[in-house]
Amino acid sequence: MKRVAVLGSTGSIGRQALEVIAANPGRLSVRSLLCSRSLDALEAQRREFPGSLACALSAERAPSWCMAGEGALEAALDGCDIVLNAITGFAGLRASLEAARLGLPVALANKESLVTAGCLLRDHVAAGLVIPVDSEHSTIARCLCGAPPREIVLTASGGALRDWPADRIEGAGPEDVGAHPTWDMGPRITVDSSTLVNKAFEVIEARWLFPGAPVSAVLHPQSVVHSLVRLGDGSWRALLGRPDMRIPIQHALLGDDPAPGFAAGDEPCDWPALTFAPLDLSRWPAFGLVTRAGEEGGTMPAAANAADEVAVDAFLRGRLRFGDIARVIGGVLESTARRDVYCYGDVLEGDAAAREAAGRVVSGLC
Ligand code: MG
């Protein structure tokens, strides 16, 4: 029986992880539930999984049934066998680093961990203790089965605006990107899917997870092929199926052990025609900016992430137009001096400086 610490339990991935755990009684159990401050949802989850420890990272006043604030993360990790890190945003990094310090396997759904601090998690990755949950990276890991990749190609749906004429994208508002065409996700990642910042983050993550192979992305609007990997002999491997995050979550928690199926009724004859096309980078300028920041390394990807978090927040509040998100990222990266990263504090500093710079760029655009 694996005891799982479900971090970010009230978000989209966290809730689906709890479904997976409930579907595998006797093999998986909930050791702890950790959220930011959604206490009502947390209490309902605690009742559904009796015996689990409930923790809230940012709650101001903690009810008696819940650990809160200082020490909540450490309490959540105590006594678990595997950590599912589905915390949203930069806040998830500390959890990954703490899990790595404790030598715990991390089923990683928090992109920012590898994006902003891949160099600090490199040893944990090399030890096979970072197991990707994201559908793209899960696919690559499953297709490789330990073989070295020659080339990795991530598939991108293109987000909600992919069929819009280029001149209209600039002025799109939150209501236009609100619904992702193929995946059901939280608000920030839905916007990041439309700017392709999400895909740029996945390129950076793939470089850390599968070092040595070139990584690129192609447009695949149907989201049936969850990424492709080319082997040494030139052949391609891929996993196919209608998007369902419970499948990669279950794989991350249980590996290749036989497990209950989730994709009932998913039949190839019902799939739309599968298409692949190169990304038109003029439509998605943020993709190029963020992947370049990833290549520069050091504090640059943390700066790109911070700029994007600030810009997306301003966009969702109606303060910025869609086209401004890439402008904020570009403006912040231009004014950022790259520093090497040796510890968590270096990443925190890079993040804080970029947030300040992003605030200034946003004010200038409003
Ligand atoms: Mg993904």
Residues 252/138, Cβ–Cβ less than 8 Å: yes
Write down the pTM of the prediction.
Answer: 0.94
Query: Residue 123: left (phi > 0), alpha (psi -120 to 50), or beta?
Result: alpha
How far is the centre of ligand 1, averaged over its atoms, from the C-alpha of 182 (Å)? 11
How far is the centre of ligand 1, averaged over its atoms, from the C-alpha of 261 (Å)? 20
Question: Distances in Å between the alpha carbon of 328 and those of 161, 162, 201, 338?
Answer: 19, 21, 17, 17
Query: Residue 168: left (phi > 0), alpha (psi -120 to 50), or beta?
Result: alpha
d(CA 49, CA 69): 22
How far is the centre of ligand 1, averaged over its atoms, from the C-alpha of 343 (Å)? 27
Q: In this structure, which residues have their CB less than 5 angstroms from ion ligand 1?
A: 134, 136
| CB burial of residue 331 (10 Å; 0-12, 13-18, 19+) | buried
How far is the centre of ligand 1, averaged over its atoms, from the C-alpha of 187 (Å)? 14
Give residue 69's pLDDT: 85
Query: How is residue 11 written in tokens?
Result: 């978000």
How far is the centre of ligand 1, averaged over its atoms, from the C-alpha of 341 (Å)? 26
Give residue 258's pLDDT: 73
Radius of gyration of the chain (CA): 20
How far is the centre of ligand 1, averaged over its atoms, from the C-alpha of 28 (Å)? 24
Taking the chain (366 residues) in runs of 10, the rounded mean pLDDT of each run is 97 96 96 94 97 91 89 96 95 96 98 97 97 96 91 95 90 83 69 95 98 96 96 95 94 87 90 96 95 98 97 95 97 97 97 98 94
How far is the centre of ligand 1, averaged over its atoms, from the C-alpha of 109 (Å)? 9
How far is the centre of ligand 1, averaged over its atoms, from the C-alpha of 284 (Å)? 17
